[in-house]
Structure 1
Amino acid sequence: MNVGDFLIGSIQTPRIAELETDENGRFEIELPIGAYSVFTVEEEGYFANVFDQYNHVNPIQVKEGEWTFLEIVVNYLAVY
């Protein structure tokens, strides 16, 4: 197996936004109310490792007047 086996090559839905994390790996973005998938961009593709019961990839729900917390654990190179 190589690194690319754990990454997503292309995403078939429109990209809504792209941003970079701060020096601590934190990020924030203001988005319209709705449902979104969040990915990290890696050298060989996109990474996400969370799926819901409907097979939505790394899903988040943005609601009016609320913050949505998301912790992304990039672990595709981890050895346990």
Structure 2
Amino acid sequence: MKYFFSMLLPMLVACKTFNNKLPLTQGIKGTVVEQSGNMMPRPGREKPKPKAISATLYVYESTTVAQTQGSLPSFTRINSKLVTILKTNSYGVYATYLPEGTYSVFIKDDKGFFASESDGNGIINPITVSKGQVTEHNWVLSRNAVY
């Protein structure tokens, strides 16, 4: 019984965190984790494990570097249309409804907007939503990691 309640609590917290109609039938979901410290491989030492973080995600229409100020992975301004802002819960979990389309996701922190991925077309941190589908993507904030 104790095990059941320990599993139920995070689910209830996650449901309370999101302002979405459940169940989510179209949009995006996933987690945000942070990697920091020395990530260089070395014999006898394990790399630090990423940790789930509370984060604020800014979802824009698909955005290229030409539509920003800054460069991968750090941006100070995004000059495309903002679609939504969402927050993760304390476990780093996020979910939101989005219409069909391709979007760019930026993690906002005290140093600006973080985005470390791009596709072959120059879209920064792309995520695509198809009709009736939930796209899952886990983001890694690695601004303080050394590789």
TM-score, structure 2 length as denominator?
A: 0.50
Alpha-carbon distance, 1:72 to partner: 0.3
Letter in 2 for 1:33: E
Structure 1 runs of 4+ with >6 Å offset = none
- Structure 2 distance, partners of 1:15, 1:77, is 26
| In structure 2, C-alpha distance between the alignment counterparts of 1:59 and 1:14, rounded to whole Å | 14
1:23 corresponds to which residue?
A: 90
- Aligned equivalent of 2:114, options 47, 69, 72: 47
Shift of 1:79: 2.1
Percent of pairs with identical residues = 34
- What does 1:1-80 correspond to in 2, within 5 Å? 6-80=73-147
Letter of the 1:23 counterpart: S
Letter in structure 1 aligned against 2:145 = A
Structure (1 or 2) with the greater helix fraction: 2
User: Whose strand fraction is larger, Structure 1's or Structure 2's?
Assistant: 2
Higher relative contact order (CA 8 A, sep 6+): 2
Q: Which has the larger radius of gyration?
A: 2
Tell me the SS of whatever aligns to 2:87: coil
What residue identity is the alignment partner of 2:86? Answer: L
